[in-house]
Chain A
Amino acid sequence: GVAEYLTPVLKDSKFKETGVLTPEEFVKAGDHLVHHCPTWQWSTGDESKIKPYLPKNKQFLLTRNVPCYKRCKQLEYTEQEKIVQPEDGEGGWVDTHPTNDNLTEGSGTAEMSNDEKSDSDEAEDMKNNLGNAMSELVLGDDDDDGEAAVMEDSDLEDEEDEAEVKPISDREHVALKTSESGGEIIQTRTYDLNITYDKYYQTPRLWVSGHDENRHPLSVDQMYEDVSQDHAKRTVTMESHPHIPGPPMASVHPCRHAEVMKFFIQTVTEGGRELGVHMYLIIFLKFVQAVIPTIEYDYTQNFTM
């Protein structure tokens, strides 16, 4: 917008005093994130939208095809939930798992603890189930069967390709997953996440765009199902992405980011330690998890508050 256009690029670090970032600090924190969590990568974005205050190949960060197995309402909020309260007492962030005092506790919720089994344990479970999964081909009952049928091609030889793994239906997967016995591909919602540098608010800004189980783009209302109730519509807005062409995209509004960040910095400082600016995005991703608790993006690293 005009305000952003008129805002001068932040030159001197004010990170410690106010929780904001210079573009250089954003790049430094981004490099740190990409190094420790390589599912995140730098992107150039659309050539015509390159911002001169950031390196050409480091315009924004992205991670793709991030699974989102559950809707927010499926999460059981408990009395353990507490509010992370910035000093002025307004708003604040809901910390959905305050009992985890160590940020290495990965994927969000207690219900997902089966995800934290080692790969090899999972492999055992999976092996036991794959036989069943492979032997049946169950078709999903889509609403648009009629239209889909029209687009099917009778000219193609639809002979069995015996060397192709056949999927089973979405609903089967959900059942298997919840009974902790899933041993196959899960057709699930996925999200692409972007972190841009917001010149006006001088903070990172998170953008999300999702696909459903059939990999069709999610509508805004569908995406709200994956935003915590405390934040849907209040914190998440639709706006033009600064680097990607196309329709407006959902974004976590950055107006409170600096404040929350300052709160984190103070907490760490009071604990007698110092929070380096390179840690900014790791912490940022930790606190936006309160907004999108079921999107399982990667962000963790050994860091204790």
Chain B
Amino acid sequence: MSSAVDNEKILQFLPFSSVISSSFWHKLTQMKIDVYALNDEPVEITGYYTNQSISSRLPACLNVDYSSFENRQVSDAVGTNGILCQGLLQNTNTLEAFKDINKQTAINKCGEQIWNDILSGAALSNPSLLTRFLLLTFADLKKYQFYYWFAFPTLVFPSKILLNDDPKEVDKVLTKEELLQFQQAYDEFKSSYGQSAFVVEKNTELGYKCHPLKELANLKDIMWIGFCDPSSLPTNPGWPLRNLLALLAHHHKERLVGLSILCWRDGVRDGQRRVGSSLLIEIKDVVYPGETDSIPKCLGWEKNERGKLGARTVNLSNSMDPERLAESAV
């Protein structure tokens, strides 16, 4: 990897890492037998990720489990720091069909949906439309073997974002008192809007105030654009920021250079809330793709254990095969 060419600080994002509970496969098996049968059309499911502080140093997990098949609209199901996101599940009938699906076409379709939500402004009103996932599966029910491949579609727009400086932890920039004030403003916003991206305004009369993204055009004293960050890296934000920046680049291109982004990390450890490791990033310059009339390029298939683009497999015969279960129960 040739980082730091000409000492450019290119903004890099931490991709999501998928985590599938065994209960997901159990429920998929049930759905395949009882509901989908031979229908392999994509169906809507949900997943979720969480805000975390850097002390965990965990990957940016995106979880699916048995409840992903339920129609969850509210984030009650995912706890205080959970963020619900929509995904498409395509379960094929054969391994061949799984392999034959054109992966680029499939992810482009998701990218197009996200881009349309950006163009229409729908994503300004509802930023959760920006963070979607695609899950291809094939369930070999005889062998309890499951093949799967996640994609976290992201638009390459702008094509490159350059930073002024290394990201800074918010507790190095704000005083304890200021951070507490901001935290209160954020909590207020969260309880009334529940959105995962927001505009932070600060002025002498009001102090800090968080607003929904769609109010961006009407606000004057903008301090930061914030988003709930699943990354626990001390230097890099997580994947959701990428499509958020595509949204901002389309609607508020003039504001992007010089804009400060707050990567909000709201973790708990030892019963103590930790928000101080949230990052502040300042955008120095932005490079746009050459052709501007088409849909931006879309990327985001998850890499396998070897760091290559490829599907993963999981074998659950130990926990699902009735014969083996009977043996181990003796």
Contacts and interface: CB of A to CB of B under 8 A. Distances in A.
Contact of B310 (A127, A149, A187): A149
Given A185-B233, A186-B57, A247-B320, A151 B312 contact: yes
Interface residues of A, number: 80
Contacts of A160: 1
Contacts of A67: 56-58
Nearest to B80: A38
A232 B13 CA distance: 40
Interface in B280-314: 299, 301, 304-314
Given A217-B319, A247-B320, A123 B310 contact: no
A187 to B, nearest CB: 7
B192 interface: no
A135 B1 contact: yes
B66 A46 contact: yes
B11 to A, nearest CB: 6
B169 interface: yes
Interface in B1-36: 1, 3, 10-15, 17-23, 25-27, 30
A64 B236 CA distance: 23
B172 interface: yes
A57 B277 contact: no
Contact of B270 (A152, A165, A298): A298
A147 B305 CA distance: 11
Contacts of A188: 58
The dominant DSSP class at the A interface is loop
Given A126-B234, A135-B3, A151-B304, A215 B19 contact: yes
A247 B30 contact: no
Interface stretch (B71-79, B202-210, B221-229): B71-79
A301 interface: yes
B161 A163 contact: yes
Contact of B26 (A37, A187, A247): A247
A127 B318 CA distance: 42
Nearest to B169: A123
Nearest to A104: B270
Contacts of A98: none
The dominant DSSP class at the B interface is mixed
A249 B96 CA distance: 33
Contacts of A247: 22, 26, 316, 319-320, 325
A216 B146 CA distance: 11
Interface stretch (A13-21, A137-145, A262-270): A137-145
B305 A155 contact: no
Interface in B234-282: 234-236, 242, 268-271, 273-274, 276-277
Interface residues of B, number: 86
A135 B4 CA distance: 10
Interface in A129-163: 130, 134-137, 139-140, 142, 144-145, 147-149, 151-153, 155-158, 160-163
B146 to A, nearest CB: 10
Given A123-B234, A217-B22, A247-B26, A165 B242 contact: no
B60 to A, nearest CB: 8
A162 B55 contact: no
B23 A244 contact: yes
A17 B12 CA distance: 58
B216 interface: no
B160 interface: yes
A163 B22 contact: no
B252 to A, nearest CB: 20
Contacts of B99: 151, 153
A156 B300 CA distance: 11
A58 B61 CA distance: 24
Nearest to A116: B270
A299 to B, nearest CB: 7
B268 A37 contact: yes
Given A134-B1, A163-B11, A165-B233, A142 B306 contact: yes
Interface in A80-104: 104
Contacts of B137: none
> Which residue, B12, B58, B78, B271, has most C-beta atoms of chain A within 10 A?
B271
A223 to B, nearest CB: 11
A106 B54 contact: no
Contacts of B11: 163
A296 B286 CA distance: 41
A242 interface: no
Contact of B104 (A37, A156, A162, A163): A156
> Which residue, B13, B23, B166, has most C-beta atoms of chain A within 10 A?
B23
A230 to B, nearest CB: 22
A145 B52 CA distance: 32
Interface in A189-245: 190, 192, 209, 211, 214-217, 219-220, 238, 244-245
Given A151-B311, A153-B99, 9 more contacts: A34-B80, A41-B78, A106-B270, A122-B54, A130-B233, A185-B58, A209-B22, A217-B21, A298-B268
> Which 10 A-B pairs give the minimum distances between C-beta atoms?
A41-B79, A152-B310, A246-B26, A247-B319, A106-B270, A151-B311, A126-B234, A38-B80, A246-B23, A119-B277
